[in-house]
Each structure stands twice: as C-alpha cells, then as structure tokens.
A and B are shown apart, each in its own frame.
Chain A
Amino acid sequence: DSGVTQTPKHLITATGQRVTLRCSPRSGDLSVYWYQQSLDQGLQFLIQYYNGEERAKGNILERFSAQQFPDLHSELNLSSLELGDSALYFCASSLDLLSTDTQYFGPGTRLTVL
C-alpha cells in the first residue's frame, strides 16, 4: 500500500458528461501529480501541484482541470467527455520537489466513456 488513495476505482459514464477524480496524497506529501494512461496515447503526464500551486503542466486538455486543496488532496475534473478520454488515471505524490524524492502512486481510476 503506497498510502496514496484514489476514488473512485472505476467510473463509467457517457460522452458529454463531466466527472471528478479524487486523489489523497500520502500523509505529509506536498506534491501531487496526475497521469493518464490510454491505449492510444500511452502514459502521459498531465499536471503537477505543489502545496496548492500548479507547478507544471503536461498534455492536459483544456476540457480538463485540476486543483489541490488546502488539505492537499487533489481533484481532476474532466468535462465534455469523449470516447478517447477512456483511460486509467493515476495520481502520485511526493514529499517535496527535491531530485531525490520518491514518487508514490495510487492504484488509479479507470474511466470508461461510452
């Protein structure tokens, strides 16, 4: 158990809908990262937050947004869903931004868009 939790584990929804994925980092970790893994695109980095602030943006679509709250949990919001958004979404956390920091991954949320 990495200590990172993600809810829900599975999500099935329809095109055009909006969903929210939630991530709780390990206790004490200040950085949260979001990744997407799909059959078409492989693994992609989406976005990173550190202590509530966005620090890096990857291949995150404009239809997607994220935030990190004062209690350090993070939410990834996906709107106007398309079939191609079906993927496994991983959250990871790390203590800080130091180059020696280990990242810990949650189990992922599997999103299926029908």
Chain B
Amino acid sequence: AQKVTQAQTEISVVEKEDVTLDCVYETRDTTYYLFWYKQPPSGELVFLIRRNSFDEQNEISGRYSWNFQKSTSSFNFTITASQVVDSAVYFCALSEDNYGQNFVFGPGTRLSVLP
C-alpha cells in the first residue's frame, strides 16, 4: 500500500531562516506522482507542485524549492528566507497515476514562522 510520512509534526522558525519539510513515501509502483499542498490558517488548500517519478530534477519556484530523491524515497520541500506568510500546514501526497488512483496524503507538517 502507498504511504506518505511527514515525520515533523510541527516546526517553528524565526523569519528569514531557511526551513526544510521532510516527506518520505512508500510505493511499489515505478510510475507515480508526488505533490505538495499548503493550508494557511484561513483554511483553504493551495496546490504547490506535482512531480512525476521520471523527473528527478529539483524544482525551484521563488523562495520554494523541492528535492526529489528516488534513492531515499524522499521529496523534501525547502523554504528559503521564510516569511510569516509561510505559516501554514504543509501536506505531501502521493498518487499512483495522474488521475488520483491510490492517492494518499501525509499527515501534514505545521510550520510557524515567527516575526
């Protein structure tokens, strides 16, 4: 069965610090998709990234970057120079295919960025 582990339940950092959120996944599939979502205190969900298993290139989007390592089954998310607005719960997720088959979320990591 597919599984996503986010071992860090809560993280607190001071503004401008860099922070990495860990995501470790388990799957027997050779093709799969990985996702990150953000849920700010207001409650809405925000899609951040979708990455397929064939694309191991790291992704950078502004202050956000993602490190995909098949060898360690990890898809970690780093926020550089964190800001208070980054405070949110971040969810990592795994899907067997692009349609959402066997889609599973991790439990989430609550990030608090203090001023």
- Which residues of A pack against B, CB within 8 Å? 2, 33, 35, 42-45, 48, 50, 55-58, 88, 90, 92, 97-105, 107-108
Q: CB-nearest residue of chain B relative to A41? A: B105
The docked-state distance in angstroms from the alpha carbon of A101 to that of B104 is: 19
Which among B16-24, B62-70, B91-99 touches the partner chain? B91-99
Known: A90-B45, A101-B50, A108-B44. A55 touches B99 (CB 8 A): yes
Q: CB-nearest residue of chain B relative to A2? A: B44
Q: Is B52 an interface residue (CB 8 A)?
A: yes
The docked-state distance in angstroms from the alpha carbon of A55 to that of B108 is: 26
- 17 further interface pairs, Cβ-Cβ under 8 Å (given A43-B91, A45-B100, A99-B33): A2-B44, A44-B105, A45-B95, A45-B103, A45-B104, A45-B105, A55-B99, A55-B100, A56-B97, A58-B103, A92-B45, A92-B47, A102-B47, A104-B47, A105-B44, A105-B45, A105-B46
CB of B105 within 8 A of CB of A43, answer: yes
Q: CB-nearest residue of chain A relative to B104? A: A45
B20-42 interface code vs A (CB 8 A; 1 in, 0 out)? 00000000000001000000000
Total contacting residues, chain B, CB less than 8 A = 22
Classify the interface of chain B: helix, strand, loop or mixed. loop
- Which residues of B pack against A, CB within 8 Å? 33, 43-47, 50, 52, 91, 93, 95, 97-105, 107-108
Residues of the B chain whose Cβ atoms lie less than 8 Å from the Cβ of A57 = 101
Interface-centre pick from B46, B50, B95, B98 (highest chain A CB count, 10 A): B98
CB of A99 within 8 A of CB of B50, answer: yes
CB of A100 within 8 A of CB of B97, answer: no
From the candidates B43, B44, B98, B107, name the one contacting A42 in the complex (CB within 8 A).
B107
